[in-house]
Amino acid sequence: MNQTYFMINPIFIFLFSLPLLVLSQENISFSNSNFIEKIDNKLSLKLDIDNDIESFEFNGENLSYRIEPNIDLRTELSVHYRFISFRIGYTPQFLSNNNEDLKGKTKVFKIQTDLYLKNWVQTFEYYKVKGFYLTDLKGNENFSLPDGIEFLILPNLKTVTFRGVTKYKFNNNFSFKALTTQNEIQRKSAGSFVPSLAYSYFEITDKTTTQDLNSYSLILNTGYFYTFVINKKWYSGLGISPGLGIEFNKLITKTDNGSIFSRDNDLVFNLDTHLGLGYNSKSFFGGIDLRFLATTRDENSIIEFDTLRGLLQIFIGYRFNSPKFLKKSVDWIEDQNPLN
């Protein structure tokens, strides 16, 4: 391989709706401040749909092709209570494409946990995608698809990502929860400088091919986020987070005589922007978020991953009275935690 590009075409899907089951709730008290309204005795359930689907494009001197998963949308169900958030992402059957005989089957699975400890936010994430197809093969007569075949199914091609992010906000009047999990309500407009450190492990493997890739990254971001409070229930969020870091890549080529390893270190520039509009009442919340991600790497890398993609997320959620056992358990944890 000479170069590999990592990209996605932005697909913006607006025509999506979900019926909401509204349950009767008891009168409960809310903890208030001038800028942030805390909702400590409510359990929030959130469902979103997005187009955060990654594809790959290879451009060599005499060969080029694209490798894509056979899905366009994915869903994520999340639960939020006080300082902890848990998310699970997948693609349900009703969102799967109906052309698996032509392009194969793709499975997506994601788990993410967020911890909010005073001004700190800690994220841990595991993301796995299995099943891709190859298309747009050009430039090499020795490697071509049979006549009448447009797609080559790659059922064993798999990507796995382990990722962690540590963030710190400087302004106590700015609520990260209100912007990301809607587990608080921003009552007055506020923003904050938010530096973060992202660290990840990424791999591409296929037991039927001769090459695998492992990549480790460490990126320092210097972001700023702001929430504009439009009125008591509507808000708009804005954020920008440029970053600079380093990646350690290892390309493994399997031969009859063993494995050959090629390694290099790459300087990485990262940019993440965020724009959103949301509705946040004491029971129901929802909104739309738009993100733009750009990542560039050293041109002399053995494998070059350049990312440029736009993402759309539509979400809805509802807050329920928390069970007594959950309240008691979290009360005890908060009492023992000096950072909370």
Residue 29 lies in a domain: no
Residue 266 lies in a domain: yes
Residue 62 lies in a domain: yes
- 83-105 as b/e, with b when 16 or more CB fall inside 10 Å? bbbebebebeeeebbeeeeebbb
What was the pLDDT predicted at 38?
Answer: 86
What was the pLDDT predicted at 239?
Answer: 94
Residue 32 lies in a domain: no
Ramachandran quadrant class, 74 (left: phi over 0; alpha: psi -120 to 50; beta: rest): beta
What was the pLDDT predicted at 228?
Answer: 95
What was the pLDDT predicted at 8?
Answer: 34
C-beta of residue 337 within 8 angstroms of C-beta of residue 117: yes
What was the pLDDT predicted at 111?
Answer: 94
Token output for 222: 């210097």
Q: Which domain holds residue 316?
A: 4-15+44-336
How many structural domains comprise the chain? 1
What was the pLDDT predicted at 121?
Answer: 94
Residue 20 lies in a domain: no
* DSSP-assigned states of every residue in 59-99: E-SS-EEEEEES-S-EEEEEEEETTEEEEEEE--GGGS-S-
What was the pLDDT predicted at 224?
Answer: 95
Q: What is the CATH number of the domain that holds 185?
A: 2.40.128
Looking at the DSSP bridge assignments, the partners of residue 223 are: 194
C-beta of residue 137 within 8 angstroms of C-beta of residue 172: no
Looking at the DSSP bridge assignments, the partners of residue 219 are: 198, 245
Residue 99 lies in a domain: yes
3-state secondary structure at position 135: strand
- Closest alpha carbon to 155 in 233, 118, 207: 207
Collect the ranges in the chain with pLDDT lower than 50: 1-32
Residue 25 lies in a domain: no
C-beta of residue 170 within 8 angstroms of C-beta of residue 194: yes
Give the Cα separation of 6 and 304 in Å (integer): 8
Give the Cα separation of 57 and 139 in Å (integer): 14
What was the pLDDT predicted at 150?
Answer: 77
- Closest alpha carbon to 81 in 261, 329, 335, 259: 329
Residue 191 lies in a domain: yes
